[in-house]
Amino acid sequence: MTLDRPSLLLAALIAEAFFSYPAWLSHPVAWMGRLIAYLDERWNRGNHGRFMGVLAALILIALGGGVGLAIESIAYGWGGAIFIIVIATTGLAQRSLHDHVAAVVQPLIAGDLGGARIAVSMIVGRDTAALDASGVAAAATETLAESFCDGVVAPAFWFLILGLPGLFAFKCISTADSMIGHMDDRYRDFGWAGARTDDVMNWVPARMAGVLICIAGWGGWQVMWRDAGKHLSPNSGWPESAMAGALGVQLGGGADYDGEWIARANLGDGERPNATDLLRALTIYRRACLALWVITGALIWLR
């Protein structure tokens, strides 16, 4: 390979931000999702759910890492480097995340609550039919902050550490966590390994994401340190509380998931966010992505 990992990562980050992934082309995450759904259907039965879930997680890591390793093994010279950059963009979500949240902002500012609910339902797991305007803004803001870790910082981190094998292994586990890493009766055992592995793989990136949001938002440190540990997730509280602090709003609080009320702690101080706050959150998100580029560029310079 002609370029080192920081150089490849910076090129992939920039390329994904400008060009994103073609909407008409089936995304690799969809392929992972079909495999996870197959394993869920065939293996999530009987009294051995925990064991079969561990086996499923190991298969996903091995498959993702193996595919990444195979691609890197045949990539030589500048052509190979460009190929790796293009492939790496499939594991990043800067542009798609921005566009999905921007699609919530537009109807929310226009006063179209129904349209805003539909748009936010595309990116959150909670029930959205009864959300008021501040509820929609809060849901979108929380998802923007959390997904900055899951969709940008964490895949970038694992690519930097292990290359394409690390990136693909992380995306497999992240997809498994989103599909089966739940605490309901069906997935409590089978999804346990995927959820715990995702927690481990996001531990460092989540804290990095929180720091980047505070830098981009010119504040939020105190709220992040105070409230990050209040979240039900060991990782999501870092970027979410950082965003709450940077915006000076209150996020978190209880929400309905599949008709079940889940009690959650409040993050931050002040009023609940509105459409203008969500627009500010997008600005902070763009700055945080740019800060990640700058840090990656600094790693190139230091080498």
Between 293 and 23, name the one with better pLDDT: 293
User: Which pLDDT value is given to residue 26?
Assistant: 62
Residue 130 pLDDT level (bands cut at 50, 70, 90)? confident
User: Which pLDDT value is given to residue 1?
Assistant: 45
- Is it the case that residue 22 has pLDDT exceeding 70? no
Handedness of CA 282, 288, 294, 299 (dihedral sign): negative
Non-local (6+) Cβ contacts of 134 within 8 A are 271, 272, 273, 274
Give per-residue pLDDT as tens, 51-100.
Answer: 999 999 999 999 999 999 999 999 888 999 999 999 999 999 999 999 99
Is residue 165 a contact partner of residue 65, using CB atoms and an 8 Å limit? yes
State the Cα–Cα distance between residues 213 and 241, nearest whole angstrom: 10
Residue 49 pLDDT level (bands cut at 50, 70, 90)? confident
- Is it the case that residue 263 has pLDDT exceeding 90? no
User: Which pLDDT value is given to residue 23?
Assistant: 63
User: Which pLDDT value is given to residue 207?
Assistant: 98
Average pLDDT of span 22-36: 78
The encoded tokens of residue 126 equal 């909670």
For the chain, how many structural domains are there in total? Answer: 1
Residue 136 pLDDT level (bands cut at 50, 70, 90)? very high
How far out from the chain centre does Cα 35 lie? Answer: 20
User: Which pLDDT value is given to residue 24?
Assistant: 58
Give per-residue pLDDT as tens, 105-128.
Answer: 999 999 999 999 999 999 988 888
For the chain, the average pLDDT equals 93
User: Which pLDDT value is given to residue 148?
Assistant: 98
Average pLDDT of span 244-273: 90
User: Which pLDDT value is given to residue 259?
Assistant: 76
- Is it the case that residue 25 has pLDDT exceeding 70? no
Task: Return the amino acid letter for 41.
Answer: E
Give per-residue pLDDT as tens, 181-230.
Answer: 877 778 889 999 999 999 999 999 999 999 999 999 999 999 999 999 99
State the Cα–Cα distance between residues 19 and 25, nearest whole angstrom: 13
Range of the domain at 192: 5-302
Is residue 266 a contact partner of residue 280, using CB atoms and an 8 Å limit? no
- Range scoring the smallest mean pLDDT among 6-15, 253-262, 276-285: 253-262
Q: How far is CA 230 from CA 29, 201, 290, in A?
A: 30, 20, 28
Is residue 133 a contact partner of residue 108, using CB atoms and an 8 Å limit? yes
